[in-house]
């Protein structure tokens, strides 16, 4: 099972479904570049055009109880510095993505699954299979906003808790 890929796709699809990020914003799950709007191998820019939301989930780690896994997934919002000199576009996309992740977190914390969390959990099952069992969600510390290599970047880091029944 590739939890990281499944989590990247679940996050990407949930943001696309519920976030008001604009149609021109590329969502780029690292292990599934061709799964999202905007991927074009024939373009001179290929899979990298901006604005962009880059999702990169790390390898799952086991907690000390040896049954709960944690997967950390930075969601990185990027805009071209020359196109977004005041960072307004990056800020707007950040706000939209944070709205989606806050909805997911609030629904998890209150135990009342709304449209976002119901969709997210279904995406996890669709992409990871029935051996993947949702456990929860939290935030991890993100990076400070940065400008590097002609890009403005700001991130939100989600942590997905889960277990597996296939071993």
| Containing structural domain, residue 131 | 3-164
Range 38-43 average pLDDT: 56
Name the pTM for this structure.
Answer: 0.92
**Angle of CA points 151, 120, 22, to nearest 5°:** 40
Look at the chain and report how many structural domains it folds into.
1
164 burial via Cβ count (<10 Å: 0-12, 13-18, 19+): middle
Residue 32 has pLDDT above 70, yes or no: yes
* Consecutive H or E run containing 102: helix 88-110
Quote the pLDDT of residue 147: 87
Place 15 in a pLDDT band, splitting at 50, 70 and 90.
very high
118-164 pLDDT tens trace: 999 999 999 999 899 999 999 999 999 998 889 999 999 999 999 98
Residue 26's DSSP bridge partners are 52
- Here the CATH number for the domain that contains residue 37 is 3.30.70.1700
What average pLDDT does range 55-62 have in this prediction? 93
What token pair was written down for 73?
Answer: 């997934």
CA 4/CA 96 separation, integer angstroms: 23
Q: Which of 31-45, 96-110, 125-139, 143-157 bottoms out in mean pLDDT, i.e. has the lowest?
A: 31-45
160: helix, strand or coil: strand
């Amino acid at each position: 099972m590739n939890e990281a890929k499944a989590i990247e796709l679940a996050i990407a699809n949930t943001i696309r479904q519920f976030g008001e990020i604009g149609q021109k914003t590329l969502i780029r799950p690292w292990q599934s570049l061709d799964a999202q709007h905007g991927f074009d191998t024939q373009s001179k820019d290929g899979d990298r055009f901006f604005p962009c939301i880059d999702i990169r989930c790390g390898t799952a780690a086991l907690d000390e109880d040896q049954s709960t896994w944690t997967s950390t997934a930075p969601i990185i919002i990027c805009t071209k510095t020359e196109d977004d000199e005041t960072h307004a576009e990056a800020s707007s996309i950040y706000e939209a993505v944070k709205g989606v992740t806050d909805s997911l977190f609030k629904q998890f914390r209150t135990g009342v699954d709304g449209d976002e969390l119901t969709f997210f959990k279904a995406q996890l099952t669709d992409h990871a299979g029935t051996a993947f069992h949702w456990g929860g969600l939290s935030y991890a510390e993100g990076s400070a906003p940065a400008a590097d290599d002609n890009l403005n970047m700001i991130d939100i880091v989600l942590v997905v808790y889960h277990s597996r029944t296939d071993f």
